[in-house]
């Protein structure tokens, strides 16, 4: 790929890939579900497309918890963006970090010294976890948005068991064998169930000095019940199923403090080796880039065509956008919403730029909401119809395999799931030197920060 070395004002360099033909330029920021779907819909149209992402791969985030619990490897749920889009000659990929948007000049600022001009801009930058004003907790209670997060959590769980194996005192063993998940949404429920299965099923014969089946998994939810987006009937089923798997589910239990190795709830200090944050998300900083007022979750308000009002040529989709359905209800932050918005916007922009067709309003078609609780147990809410148990689990597996990018990934994940179901074994249980160093560094930094905080009070 040839990059123009044309220097712009303020010392920035134009990073636009050399155009194949003189066509309108659509820039997409973010290679997640929405951004990738938009790029695919614009593929092979008479439009120049540039997709920018800080990573060179598309990550299937709904299965990231299985990387964190040693069921899958990162390569199983990630696919290079260039590979996905290589058949579209009009689509270019730029790996870079967006630092802002110059709305007046219609430029996306990349890094400290680059920019890419646009005719239409699509923001699909996703979301990050919301610590509700306690950002210092992030260093000891990672969320689950990146491969690095998943590897860190996996290393923490496995290293905790290894440390417990080295001591003969049961009281010293237990904290190393305790995992706390904060947040009773779908991610929290899936993480809790997966960690319980890992310790009680996959690892129960691997150690000699400890019994992994006695490991504690605690799920904390501040509200009155877990899985609030689901009907109460399904939430009760998930609650019972988790407790049957050995998970301690505590509702109406808001977290008061998190420090290295402990979680404080209602005055009770819970020692834990692994702490996972799954208690809410907020949008990326796209609203500040555009200098527009966001909603309480940091999302950019958009109209029925997903356009940002007062910012000509700018659109937002997925977790970045505060969009509503036909009845005015906010659309949830789900992969299916982002995919549908990306496909719609790509097709609509192609029609507008090629033939001047006005953008129609976006219509979301719900495919149901799902969550997996554990082995052969899942929930599916289709609105008027509800499923739970093994039938829902099979449907959940089929849907997620279908949504994976590439036949190779679908086949590989299907085979691994079948083998794990047959043997109760998780295959990715290696702690690399890199993960050991990374986890030690994070723990040391968090401990120092906590000590500094105590000294200042």
Q: Point out the residues that are catalytic.
A: 190
By the 8 A CB rule, do 42 and 171 touch? Answer: no
| Beta pairing partners, 132 | none
**Cα separation, 164 vs 179, whole angstroms:** 13
Contacts of 213 (CB under 8 A, 6+ apart): 199, 200, 204, 246
Q: Measured between alpha carbons, how far is residue 134 from residues 137, 176, 186, 408, 449 in Å? A: 6, 24, 22, 41, 13
Give the side-chain half-sphere CA count within 13 A for 309. 8
The string over 99-125, giving b where at least 16 C-beta atoms fall within 10 Å of a residue's C-beta and e elsewhere, is: eebebeebbbbbeeebbbbbebbbbbb
Q: Which tokens belong to 222?
A: 């501040």
């Amino acid at each position: 790929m040839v990059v123009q070395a044309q220097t712009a004002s303020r010392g920035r360099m134009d990073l636009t890939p050399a155009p194949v033909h003189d066509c309108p330029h659509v820039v997409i920021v973010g290679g997640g579900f929405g951004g990738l779907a938009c790029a695919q819909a614009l593929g092979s149209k008479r439009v120049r497309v540039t997709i920018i992402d800080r990573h060179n791969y598309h990550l299937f985030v709904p299965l990231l918890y299985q990387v964190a619990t040693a069921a899958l490897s990162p390569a199983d749920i990630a696919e290079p963006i260039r590979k996905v889009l290589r058949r579209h000659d009009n689509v270019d990929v730029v790996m870079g970090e967006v630092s802002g948007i110059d709305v007046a000049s219609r430029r996306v600022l990349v890094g400290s010294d680059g920019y890419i001009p646009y005719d239409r801009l699509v923001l699909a930058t996703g979301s990050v976890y919301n610590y509700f004003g306690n950002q210092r907790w992030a260093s000891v209670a990672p969320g689950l948005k990146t491969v690095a997060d998943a590897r860190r959590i996996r290393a923490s769980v496995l290293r905790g068991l290894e440390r417990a194996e080295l001591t003969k005192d049961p009281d010293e063993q237990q904290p190393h064998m305790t995992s706390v998940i904060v947040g009773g949404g779908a991610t929290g429920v899936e993480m809790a169930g997966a960690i319980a299965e890992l310790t009680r099923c996959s690892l129960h014969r691997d150690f000699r000095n400890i019994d992994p089946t006695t490991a504690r998994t605690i799920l904390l939810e501040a509200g009155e019940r877990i899985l609030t987006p689901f009907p109460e009937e399904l939430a009760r089923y998930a609650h019972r199923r988790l407790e049957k798997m050995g998970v301690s589910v505590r509702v109406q239990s808001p977290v008061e403090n998190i420090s290295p190795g402990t979680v404080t709830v209602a005055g009770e200090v819970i020692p834990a080796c692994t702490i996972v944050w799954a208690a809410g998300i907020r949008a990326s900083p796209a609203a500040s880039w555009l200098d527009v007022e966001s909603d309480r979750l940091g999302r950019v308000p958009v109209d029925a065509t997903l356009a940002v009002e007062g910012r000509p040529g700018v659109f937002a989709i997925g977790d970045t956008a505060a969009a509503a359905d036909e009845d005015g209800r906010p659309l949830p932050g789900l992969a299916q919403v982002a995919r549908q918005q990306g496909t719609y916007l790509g097709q609509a922009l192609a029609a507008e730029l090629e033939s001047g067709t006005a953008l129609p309003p976006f219509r979301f078609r719900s495919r149901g909401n799902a969550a997996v609780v554990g082995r052969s147990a899942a929930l599916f809410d289709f609105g008027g119809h509800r499923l739970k148990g093994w039938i829902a689990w099979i449907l959940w597996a089929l849907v997620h395999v279908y949504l994976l990018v590439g036949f190779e990934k679908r086949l590989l994940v299907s085979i691994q799931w079948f083998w794990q179901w047959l043997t109760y074994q998780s295959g990715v249980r290696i702690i690399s030197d890199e993960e050991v160093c990374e986890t030690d560094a994070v723990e040391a930094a968090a401990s120092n920060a906590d000590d500094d905080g105590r000294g200042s009070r």
